[in-house]
Amino acid sequence: MEINLEQIKENKSINELLEFSLINIDKPSGPTSFSVSQFVKNSLKLRKTSHFGTLDPQVSGVLPVALNRASRLNDYFIDKDKTYVGIMRLHKTIPEKKLKEVIKKFIGKIKQIPPLRSRVKREIREREVKSFDILEIDNKDVLFLTQVQAGTYIRKLCDDIGKEIGGAHMLELRRIKAGIFDENKSVNLYDFERAVEEYNNGNETFLRKILIPAEIIGTILKTIQVRKSSLPSLLRGKPIFKEDFENEREITSLNYGEKIAIFYQNRFIEVARITNEKKIIARPEFVFN
């Protein structure tokens, strides 16, 4: 059964949505990702918010922000491919053909050390560059489009390319896609503020429009339907057995360690991890009760 997000949104009150939703923010250049997340939290008077994937202050673009209990889903969304458009400034003019040949060396698996100002441990990490395409060259400025594995540092990538051609650095960068979230369905801070103002004045229409039910987790994880009779025990956090599945044949398609989204019709129940135990099929990681 396919999850119907529009129906879920329609059937929920605004308070229910604020408890378990996301907003796809278009972060401007300037503020930190944390400050944008806090701004959303304070504007909506929420207990908690969490952003999916940090953007440097000077980088703009897609910054999904989870509201209240949806923040618990952070780990399931954050480790997805990212797509950026940016400008790399070359330190000297080189032929386009040579530049493309050098860029080819950085497609695929690469090694990176996080920059000094990064909060993560500075050790060599393997990341994958899925694509790096030149869109336009204007003198020494190269407009590029790149899709990379989560955790890839584009500034470092530009610097490493530069070391092969006499120098280069990243001049501008914008994230246009983060996993399933893209810029075409993002909301800028001005429109977000307007939606909040309308909501505070009694009109929830604009805010409701930009809220994304966190049940969207069912589009990135394999979705499994369970029986209605199993709901009381599953909502108490019990493990999932074969007899809990609506369609027991689905068990054969599950792999040890895989994370799955458990639903009863359009109602999200939990995220669970497949086990290798004899009778227990999966154990809960997050139960939405």
d(C-alpha 197, C-alpha 23), whole Å: 16
* Contact criterion met (CB below 8 Å) for 18 and 211: yes
Give the distance, in angstroms, between the CA of residue 199 and the centroid of all CA atoms in the same chain: 26
Paired tokens of 131: 């694509």
d(C-alpha 33, C-alpha 122), whole Å: 21
Q: Is 133 a catalytic residue?
A: no
d(C-alpha 81, C-alpha 78), whole Å: 9
Beta-carbon count within 10 A of 170 CB: 23
Helix (H, G, I), strand (E, B) or coil at 217: helix
d(C-alpha 118, C-alpha 212), whole Å: 30
Q: Tell me the three-class secondary structure of 137-202, residue by residue.
A: EECCEEEEEEEECCCCCHHHHHHHHHCCCCCEEEEEEEEEEECCEEHHHCEEHHHHHHHHHHHHCC
User: Of 26, 56, 159, 160, which is the active-site residue?
Assistant: 56
Residue type, position 172, single letter: E
Catalytic residues: 56
